[in-house]
Structure formats: structure tokens, C-alpha cells
Amino acid sequence: MTPAARVQSAIELIDAIIAAARDNGAAADTIIARWFAARRYAGSKDRAAVRDLVYRAIRAFGEPPQSGRAAFVGLAKHDAVLAAAFDGTGYGPPVIEPGEPAARPIAMPKWLGRQIDVAEHVALLERAPLDLRVNRLKTTREAMLAHWPHAEPIAALDGGLRLSASEAVERSEPYLDGLVEVQDAGSQLVVAACRAAPGMTVVDLCAGGGGKTLALASAMGGAGRLVACDTDRNRLSRLVPRAAKAGADVTVRLLDPNREDEALGDLIAQADVVLLDAPCTGTGTLRRNPEARWRLTPDRLARVMALQAHILELGAPLVRPGGALVYAVCSLIEGEGAGQVARFLTDNPLWRVEAPFEVGRAQGVGRMLTPAHDATDGFFVARLIAPC
């Protein structure tokens, strides 16, 4: 592709991403993947360069720009790389290569910027690392280190490995055979906070596609009862083939949002651990999905927080006396994390608190993981113990 074609491709993609953000459509990475799947002529350097241009533009605008062209006109005023390639009236000659440093911290809508520590605004520009979780149902970390000798073991995790972000893991034999899963270290720490063990009854109440469910299965060593629940049929349907690939024994339960209590009645006071990886704003993943902030509004935050409170009320009765409730959100907004747990403890004063893990920083009664401090996605995690 010529330099002009790369810039034009980025403009078209930004147009599509703006429309998707407005209509609650596909995420940027999905749109980009689909776009290139229909354009096989684009080489790997072209794909990387266009992707870099797209994300450079996304990070520069706290609010969605009017169009892709408007985005690049505006960005060229502040970004030397883009100014050389696109001067507002035409295309310049330089070839734009991926990996150029971004000019400024990620731009935020004003209301959202006030919710997130300013130190994270710079960290959210960094490329997220590539973390793997070793599936202990099938292999060991030592065996995977032999396959990837350049991998870095993640000290706080028994089965965590960190690789170069450019590693083609999803085409590797261990990945295809279910020996490893791609999973951020923060997500793995959420599961570590559950302290799941063989023989336990464990409920993953907001299982989604099942990433944390499979990590729980690995920790349980194939022994015990693991129930994965969700109200989203499409997301939950992806768990079944993933579990088969991983060799995990999981009971999948689709919940009717209007009859959740009935569907969970047999689990009341039965679970040793209930994991509530609650729906949230996803601000902890803005390194990976920076356009997500274009979808957020104060009204949506309020709706999400109301749902989180409901899920806490739904999950708590499932925990047996002395069992654990682990509450987690992939968010950098305190109200979704520490604020929710504080409200729950005010309403349920007999529950006691345990530290979920030692890494990260204290926030309320839980721990906060952030890109700037921990090089993970942003997570709040709390571990609560039911009264005996």
C-alpha cells in the first residue's frame, strides 16, 4: 500500500469505529480485523501501520470526532508523524511505520477524566503485554517455558507467562492444543483471589465467554463442581467448546434475567466460592479498547453500577457459611469497585474481609491493579467471607 492508501484506510476505519460507538456496535479490533479480512492484498507491515494510525487517532480524541478525515486533520496539528503524512489538504510522501511514540496522553471526556487517576492517562497509551495462563489440567509452566524459553514467568502467579506482544501465540501448537490461554495477569489474579481447590463447589456467576471459568477449572484440578452462569446466550455458548478444548468439566447455566432467583435456587448456601466478575465500564482495558470511552456516559455508568449492586445481592446468598465471595470489576472507577463493596458491607455487616492478594494497592477493603502501577489491566478485587 502507498502512504496515501494507508492514511485513507485509517480514515475509513475511523468512520466505521465512530458509527459503531454511536450504535453500540462492534469493538475497534473486531472492525479492523473484518476490514483486513476483506482486503487480503494488504501485507503485514501495511496492517500494522494502518492499525497504528487508527489507534493513534482514537487515543487523541476524548469525544468521538465528526469523521475520520476530521480526526486526522485535527491530529496532524499535534502529531509530527501524521503532519508529515497528511497536511489537511492532501497526502504527504513519507511512509508511516508502526510503533512511533504517541504525542500526548490519552484524551478523556472531561467527566470520565475526573473519575480516573491522571497517572493512568499516560499508561493507557502503552501497548498491553501478551500474558498467557498455563492450563494445569494438561501441562506445567516448566513445559511451556521449554517451548517459549524467552517467556518471563509472572512472579505473583503459579501459571502465568509474559511474552512479547508480537508473538503469534494463537497459531502455536500449545495454544491450539488447549495447553495455554491468552489471559491478562490481572484476570489471572482475580481467579487467584478465589483460592479454588479440588473438591470445592465454585460458581462463576458472570461467566461470559469463560476465560476465568477455565482458570478456575485449572485450579480445581478437574475435581469438584464448577457452575458457569450468565444471561448472555451468545457469550456463554462460546464457553462449551473452549471447555472441551481445555479438558475442563464445567456445568453451563443460562439465566433468565427475569427469573434468576429460580434458576439459582439449588445453589443457595452451597458454594465454597462465588466469583462475581461483574459487568462494568471496562475502563481497565482502555489500553486494548481505547474507543470504549466514546461509548461511556454518566447515565451508562449509573446503570452499570445499579446492575453491579443487584448482582452482589444475587450472588451473596449462594455462598455457604464461611465461604468466599470474590467481587471484581475491570474498571479504574472507584465507585464500581471499592464503592460497591462498601455499600454491600454496610448492608451486610456480619461479612468479614480478607485480602485477595498482596500485589497492587489498597483501595477500600480490596486491592487495585492498574496499568501504571502493575502493568496489568485495571481491576478492583475484594474477597469477602460469609458469616458462619
Over residues 319-375, the pLDDT tens digits come to 999 999 999 999 999 999 999 999 999 999 999 999 999 999 999 999 999 999 999
Q: What is the pLDDT of residue 103?
A: 42
**Which strand (E) or helix (H) includes residue 80?**
helix 80-85
- Residue 96 pLDDT > 70: no
CA–CA gap between residue 57 and residue 21 (Å, rounded): 14
Q: What is the pLDDT of residue 75?
A: 76
Parallel, antiparallel, or unpaired for β 225-230 and 160-163?
A: unpaired
Q: Percent of the chain at pLDDT above 90?
A: 69
Q: What is the pLDDT of residues 252-291, one digit of tens each?
A: 999 998 898 889 999 999 999 999 999 999 999 999 899 9
Among the listed residues 194, 206, 229, 330, the single catalytic one is: 330
- Residue 95 pLDDT > 50: no
Q: What is the DSSP code (8-state) at residue 360?
A: S
For residues 283 and 332, the answer to whether their CB atoms sit within 8 Å is yes
* Rg, Å, the chain Cα set: 22
74/254: higher pLDDT: 254
For residues 255 and 315, the answer to whether their CB atoms sit within 8 Å is no
Q: What is the pLDDT of residues 105-122, one digit of tens each?
A: 678 888 999 999 888 888
312/125: higher pLDDT: 312
Band of pLDDT at residue 78, cut at 50, 70 and 90? low
Band of pLDDT at residue 126, cut at 50, 70 and 90? confident
- Other residues' Cβ atoms within 10 Å of the Cβ of residue 68: 22
Write the CB contacts of 56 (distance below 8 Å, at least 6 apart in sequence): 75, 79, 81, 82, 100, 102
> Which single residue is written with the C-alpha cell 500494522?
48
The yes-or-no answer on residue 330 being catalytic is: yes
Write the CB contacts of 209 (distance below 8 Å, at least 6 apart in sequence): 235, 236, 238, 239, 242
At 29, is the secondary structure helix, strand, or coil? helix
